Structure 1
Amino acid sequence: MLEPPRLAAQRREPILNVPPVITVLAAVMLAIQLIRDWVDPDTGVEILALFAFIPARFDPSVLAEGVLPGGTAADIWTFVTYAFLHGGWSHVGLNLLWMLAFGTPVARRFGALRFLAFFAVTAAAGAGLHLLTHEGELVPMIGASAAVSGCMAAALRFMFAHEGYAMWRPDMADEVAHFPAPPLLAVLRDRRVIGFVAVWFAINIAFGIGAPAGIVDGSVAWQAHIGGFLVGLLLFPLFDPIGRRPDDGRHIRRYGR
């Protein structure tokens, strides 16, 4: 018995249609966590000193030059490399879960190279705001949360671009990733976006009030989250390859209003 073409296509739809760049980033983070669990404690500290983001690195009144390894090069790369280190399996697992949810549509829209650049820029933005609010602090900051927050903000720029979009239909999720994004002011007038942003900021501020900054000791570097989110929201057009074009009606006819 022949199946209707659309039904056959739906059955061939993979359960997890994850862009390769997301898979590679996840594999790298998991591999790094495995290595950190395997090495001896002294080597683990050296890894943190070389790749974690430590605000005191940039304050000579706290740490003399040469105390931390890596020199000037580490001053630059730690703005990004900290995002690949995590405080434990639950920490990396939570970040990968959110990256899978929000990074997938963004990576599908941007492509691998643009997404990697976006990931680096939002991670650096998170580190920058953390540095401004934790000047001279010795506690290392690690985790991909700032970059993941940037992915959340980028997804907001286009995920509600079409009124008929619904997350539970895989084909719709793929379609909206290629739909032209409205201007930022139009996005910020959407009540769904306002609600999401309000709840997101409230949760992060609550973490800030209820716990000291830093992530190695189990607390949350919430300022880094906000830095990544804001830069992801504002700089989205610089990475978005899909120009604005008049709606040709295909999305309306296919999904309805």
Structure 2
Amino acid sequence: MFIPLSDANALRHLRFQYVTVTLIAINMLVYVFFVSGVFGDALEATAYSFGVVPAVYNDYATLPEEYDLIPAWATLITYQFVHGGFLHLVGNMLFLWVFGDNVEDALGHFRFLVFYLLCGVAAALVHDLVHPTSEVPLVGASGAVSGVIAAYLMLHPRVQVWVLVLWRVPLRLRAVWVLSFWVLLQVGMLFGADEQDNTAWWAHIGGLAAGAVLVLVMRRPGVVLFDRDLPRVSQLRGGRSGQR
């Protein structure tokens, strides 16, 4: 597995990625105050109250009164800001930090926020469709972040990305190789994960699909896909040789 560290992809339309940073901050604050144990261990209550519980969403079960705080439909949004552990949080936030700014740049602040939340909603609905009677709460930003990854892959496949492979080997690779591997891993885990695996792989697939579709219609006018506005290496070499 790998960890994204940074990309060589400057913002073109925005001065700063305010929405991306705000989303990261909200996720971190929710973790610190409700999950980390610093202010009391409320993970179970938070997960059941604000996570998506398919059996509850589909009216196969009801929550205990102390957990039944918001309508089931509202959890399609709130679950995206609750994480079950520190590594779960950090992994999602690293991907959002590295890739979210350029997707926000391509869409604009408000449309990126809508895009992000819609990807998370789509992820939860796909998970719910596959596991309609599950009483395990779905939590985390993985579905929404999957949508960001899909959008970045369609927008900037040729950009160089620094990743840490196996937690210790730094490599600089094109985004198309890094993110395509990640996508294939998610698909493979649909069939390779065992019954004890608590990762919502179908939610990742739902987020990916939503991100790939939404970026087509939500990107700024004039923003091209697949880095078609970048000169190819052969063109750069030709230009340099012509100047000699």
- Would you say same fold, with TM above 0.5? yes
Is 2:188 aligned against 1:203?
Answer: no
After TM superposition, the runs of 4+ consecutive aligned structure 1 residues lying more than 4 A away are 64-68, 195-198
- How far is 1:201 from its partner? 4.0
1:157 Cα shift?
1.9
Residue in 2 aligned with 1:175?
Answer: none
C-alpha distance after superposition, 1:191-222 (max 9, x if no partner)? x85x6676334311343322338xxxx72100
Q: In structure 1, which of residues 107, 118, 122 is the aligned counterpart of residue 115 of structure 2?
A: 118
The equivalent of 2:171 in structure 1 is none
2:22 match = 24
Higher RCO structure (Cα 8 Å, ≥6 apart): 2
For residue 167 of structure 1, what is the aligned residue in structure 2? 160
Give deviations 1:153-184, integer Å, cap 9, x for gaps: 11122214xxxx54269xxxxxxxxxxxxxxx
More helix by share: 1
* SS of residue paired to 2:160: coil
Q: In the alignment, what sits opposite 1:150?
A: 147
Partner of 1:184: none
1:224 aligns with 203
Write the distance in 1 (CA, Å) between the matches of 2:32 and 2:218: 32
Deviations 1:113-152 (A, max 9, x none): 1111001100000000000011111101111111111011
Aligned amino acid, residue 122 of structure 1: C
Tell me the equivalent position of 2:216. Answer: 237
| Residues 187 and 205, structure 2, Cα contact 8 Å, conserved in 1 | no
> Which one has the bigger strand percentage?
2
- Select between 100-109 and 129-138 the one with higher mean Cα deviation: 100-109
Q: 1:107 to 1:212 in 2, by over 3 A?
A: farther
Residue type at the aligned position of 1:220: T
The amino acid across from 1:233 in the alignment is A
> For 1:87-106, what aligned pairs fall within 5 Å after superposition?
87-106=84-103
Given that 2:43 and 2:84 are in contact with CA atoms closer than 8 Å, whether structure 1 keeps it comes out as: no
Q: Report the Cα offset of residue 59 of structure 1.
A: 3.1
Equivalent position of 1:189 in the other structure: none
Question: Shift of residue 241 of structure 1?
Answer: 1.3
- Residues 36-51 of structure 1: pairs in structure 2 closer than 5 A: 36=34, 37=36, 38-41=38-41, 43-51=42-50
**Max Rg structure:** 1
Q: Structure 2 vs 1, CA of residues 206 and 252 (structure 1 numbering), >3 Å: closer, same or farther?
A: closer
* Distance of 2:229 and 2:48 partners within structure 1: 53
SS at match of 1:60: coil
What TM-score, normalized to structure 2?
0.72
Provide the rounded CA distance (Å) in 1 between the counterparts of 2:62 and 2:21: 38
Q: Give me the whole-angstrom Cα distance separating, in 1, the residues matched to 2:159 and 2:207.
A: 26
Size of the alignment, in residue pairs? 206
> SS of 1:35's equivalent?
helix
In structure 2, distance between residues paired with 1:168 and 1:32:
29
**8 A Cα contact 1:57 1:68, kept in partner:** no
Specify whether residues 203 and 244 from structure 1 end up closer, same or farther in structure 2 by C-alpha distance, changes over 3 A only: closer
